[in-house]
Amino acid sequence: MLLVTCTEDLKDLNINPKTSDEMSDGYLFTYALNVTGGRQYTAKRVNLFLCSTFIQQFANLSTGDYGVGDKYLYSNTFCSAYFDESYPQAVKELTMLIHKLKDDPEMVNNLSMARIWRAVVFHVITDLYGDVPYSEAGLGYLSQNYTPKYDTQQSIYADMLKELEEAVAAFDTSKPNWGAADLIYGGDIAKWKKFGYSMMLRLGMRMSKVDPSSAAGWVQKAVAGGVMIDNDDIAFVPRSESGSREYNQNPNSWPFHETDWDEKISKTLIDFMLETNDPRIDVMFEKGSANTVHYGMPNGYDHSTIKAYEGLENDEELDLNIYSDVNPILVNLGAPLIYMTYAEVEFMLAEASERGWGGVTNAKSHYDKGVKAAMQMFTLYDPSLSVSDEAVNTYLAANPYNSSSGFELIGEQYWIATWMNFYESYSNWRRTGYPVLTPVNYPGNESNGQIPRRIRYSSSEYSVNPSNLAEAISSMGADAFTTRVWWDVAQ
């Protein structure tokens, strides 16, 4: 009896009566939103240094890791980053949360938000790599499955669309929700439904070349359900300006864009905006301190080869301050992390109209609305970054929509509208081929002088999950930059 009593007393000594032995569901959801995309370690390596330079929105002179995307070189650390951080963070937490909520009818709204967000997380993972662990992912804690199988991207897309459809249909305004723990919409179910249908629209459009019939069906469901209708519907995670740059966990690449990384705005993007007299150019960028005009850095050069391009002698130093850079207002720790904009939705609706999908008509009207929304959304960062209605109308009058080149015009504007979300810019460029970009052919590149179609798998998978990885590679193709993912059909 004494032994039993002493043992029970010892157990009590290990219990803090002021804390819970379970993490709250709301905290888990907030945490999942915060860690989507990984830390800034991942954001700057994959979003900024790979995706943004692949599609020539930034350029980089470095021949080290920071310049690999600009020159289509391979870096294990950079390619592995998104995979290595997404699975043990956002994927694991969302899997556990969904498992916990799925049988509680009172928690249907929270469950729907988690299911929608899981699609947000996974569509970026699969779009970057192709076939990836999905159906068995995140089950290490729940079922001790530490070597999940790789699902085909086709099956992943089918399930993500199913999840979105079921999640938006299950919302119930009579039931509670997370409220303030929902960093995106503060528990606003109407906005979550629009976001869910907008994601359905994005995924449906992603299949436009590989499975146009299914794509059209999902686009129709999304439009009928109700997508975003203005910039108040933009899906973003707010950030705090507090904390140190070195250790901040903010997965927004902007605050970590440093001048010593040899990276500047690409000449391709600057020239495009100058040619169209785009009023966003002074909102998004600042002129180099050694220049009186906007001037972009060409892609595919290093510190030596750029000298000849700029007409310098070998013993002359290049002043990087001749190149345009990010508007400093955008480069702060409090910059919001945007996952989907209303402008993107309008451009997808314009494309749907051109394709005759979803009962959508008047492509020009949707295109014009998309341009206006894209130009005026920067007030999300700061009220001073406004573009007037007059400036938008002047731009549209000088650069009118023309159905005969509609797909190209839509693709070009989508490219600019997703400038803050390079993952999406890169995926949509692979799908549409717009804007038309001239690849670089730097010596030793890994893609035969072509813009990479995907990034390579995490090197850790070769040792911890080799058989499942080998099966995926056998099914999809070589683990190479030149292998196309399922929806990226060459045409």
Compare 253 and 424 and report the one with higher pLDDT. Answer: 424
Write out the two tokens for 82.
Answer: 């998104």
Helix 212-225 / helix 153-170 crossing angle, nearest 10 deg: 20
AA letter at 160:
M
Compare 7 and 323 and report the one with higher pLDDT. Answer: 323
Average pLDDT for the chain: 91
Instruction: Return the closest-CA partner of residue 33 out of 165, 142, 180, 159.
Output: 180
Model confidence, pTM:
0.93
Amino acid 140: pLDDT: 87
Instruction: Return the closest-CA partner of residue 71 out of 84, 80, 62.
Output: 62
Instruction: Return the closest-CA partner of residue 421 out of 123, 66, 62.
Output: 123
Mean pLDDT of 422-433: 98
Q: Write the pLDDT tens digit of every residue in 94-152.
A: 999 999 999 999 999 999 999 999 999 999 999 999 999 999 999 988 889 999 999 99
Cis omega before residue 452 (within 30°)?
no
Mapped onto helix, strand or coil, the DSSP state of residue 59 is: strand
User: Exposure pattern of 394-430 as b/e (b: 16+ CB <10 Å)?
Assistant: ebbeebebeeeebbebbbbbbbbbbbbbbbbbbbbbb
Amino acid 21: pLDDT: 37
Distance between CA atoms of 241 and 250, rounded to whole angstroms? 10
Give residues with Cβ within 8 angstroms of 14, minimum separation 6.
Answer: none
Range of weakest confidence among 68-77, 244-253, 259-268:
244-253
Contact 271, 414 (CB under 8 A): no
Q: Write the pLDDT tens digit of every residue in 25-81.
A: 888 999 999 889 777 788 889 999 999 999 999 999 999 999 999 999 999 999 999
Backbone phi, psi, residue 245, to 5°: -65, -35
Please give the DSSP secondary-structure letter assigned to residue 449. Answer: T
Length of the chain: 491
**CA dihedral of 90, 93, 96, 100, whole degrees rounded to 10:** -110
Surface-to-core class of residue 316, CB atoms within 10 Å of its CB (0-12 exposed, 13-18 middle, 19+ buried)? exposed
Q: Write the pLDDT tens digit of every residue in 344-400.
A: 999 999 999 999 999 999 999 999 999 999 999 999 999 999 999 999 999 999 999
Contact 384, 329 (CB under 8 A): yes
Mapped onto helix, strand or coil, the DSSP state of residue 276 is: coil
Q: pLDDT tier at 258 (50, 70, 90 boundaries)?
A: low
Instruction: Return the closest-CA partner of residue 262 out of 313, 315, 317, 323.
Output: 323
Task: Tell me the torsion sign for CA atoms 435, 440, 446, 450.
Answer: positive
Q: pLDDT tier at 251 (50, 70, 90 boundaries)?
A: low
DSSP secondary structure string for all residues of 382-425: -TT----HHHHHHHHHHS---GGGHHHHHHHHHHHHTTT-HHHH
- Of all helices (H) and strands (E), which one includes residue 68? helix 68-71
AA letter at 101:
L
Amino acid 250: pLDDT: 55
Q: Write the pLDDT tens digit of every residue in 184-241.
A: 999 999 999 999 999 999 999 999 999 999 999 999 999 999 999 999 999 999 877 6
Q: Is the pLDDT of residue 177 over 70?
A: yes
DSSP H stretches of helix in 87-152: 92-101, 108-129, 140-143
Contact 413, 16 (CB under 8 A): no
